[in-house]
A and B are shown apart, each in its own frame.
Chain A
């Protein structure tokens, strides 16, 4: 078999998609092996989030909803950790409700590894300052049940220990919650807005993954949400604002390069399209005639 020589323009139009995959691997792993440290800027929406969290007072009860699997946590990690540093610093009472079964793994990592030293430093204690309720929200039905009669629906924490005698005694319905902070991959829990915000008027802020951002912005504009932190980038900006560098800022080099790579591939594809595909088609048409 004689292989036909492929011109550069033809390659640009018809290259194997797997090149894209290989190069993406390289541009992401590269800056991690040797970091570049590119600069970033802070957006208005992140400032708004910062202000909303700063406005909370010591002792306020916050529903801390994590509708994320372990993989989604990779994207939400910067925002989640930075926000929790702020909340812990303020002495806000948190009850963590997991909206995904893998949330257990996330909670383990966050409270037993990532934030452990920070919590110790601020004397922030389990059972007194925060409680993890576990997979309380498998579906909308259970969200409704939990927020209409909290004491009847939820009796124990994630390890089966009774929550009687804790700050959760103060919660009867969704109206007793000061604010909802939602970290979501979007697939998690639609019940929060429908059945808590709309019904009890509880304010809610949300850190969605990039995919759920347009929907979150529409809800922000409709005043169903009070603030939106955009994906990992928002998280990195928040780290920058609170002067606590974390995973977000480390990610940003690879993040920039990944974006540029795609733009370059789009340009290559279009050069190929106009230089080869379109001309080929024109030639085909003339031959048929």
Chain B
């Protein structure tokens, strides 16, 4: 039976088959196939959730190795494993809506998630302060446009410089939008071609075939 799992052709056929099942019913009226495809998406969603086990397993293994070999900072790994296990146990026994679980979420997860998201404001300002220098005419255009929009966006500006609105909106709504649109058009063809290469068996690294071939 192992030939079935090892054969590159068979795996590729599976890929192409399920691709077609999802793809074709959109273009031709065939309700039974569409229903079948819908069910397959539910299966795929479940399959994805199974893989968390491997990811967590590899995290455990990595941390255990740190602890066993007493590498720098190994104590943090002990802390990691204990806290993680504790929370998983609470989750499975008491449930996600229990106070203890919610307490951990609101004390650790929500503030830190906000920190690492909010910290972007700092990185954006430093990137801006560092990169917005008129090294070339192109960069000068970037800076002028950036500053006009920045000025407009400060709500106070509207009060003493109302004339800035049309210029800023021209930049964001027309140029910004044109950029978005060009991006969408350019990238989709690239993406489709890439998918095409995969379906034709050219970019198959993702199935892990290189190893067997060696």
Contact = CB atoms under 8 A, between A and B. Distances in A.
A and B touch in the complex (CB under 8 A): yes
Given A141-B45, A261-B125, A263-B147, A218 B155 contact: no
B121 interface: yes
Interface residues of B, number: 55
Contact of B156 (A149, A236, A256): A256
B22 to A, nearest CB: 9
Interface string A202-238: 0000000000011101100110000000000100100
A24 interface: yes
A121 interface: no
A255 B155 contact: yes
A105 B96 contact: no
Contacts of A39: 155-156, 158-159
Contacts of A35: none
Nearest to A267: B147
Contact of B118 (A74, A140, A263): A74
Contacts of A104: 96
A53 interface: no
B157 interface: yes
Interface size class of A (residues with CB under 8 A): 35 or more
B113 A233 contact: no
A20 B134 contact: no
Contacts of B165: 41, 43
B162 interface: yes
Given A233-B153, A256-B154, A268-B129, 4 more contacts: A39-B156, A149-B38, A255-B154, A258-B125
22 contacts: A17-B126, A17-B129, A41-B159, A41-B165, A43-B165, A69-B117, A70-B113, A70-B114, A71-B110, A141-B42, A142-B41, A144-B38, A144-B41, A149-B38, A222-B181, A255-B154, A259-B154, A261-B125, A265-B125, A266-B128, A270-B143, A277-B133
Interface of A: 17, 20-21, 24, 38-41, 43, 69-72, 74, 102, 104-105, 108, 138-142, 144-145, 148-149, 153, 159, 213-215, 217-218, 221-222, 233, 236, 252, 255-263, 265-266, 268-270, 273-274, 277
Interface of B: 34, 38-39, 41-42, 44-45, 48-49, 96-97, 102, 105-106, 109-110, 113-118, 121-122, 125-126, 128-130, 132-135, 143, 146-147, 150-151, 153-159, 162, 165, 172-173, 176-177, 179-181, 184
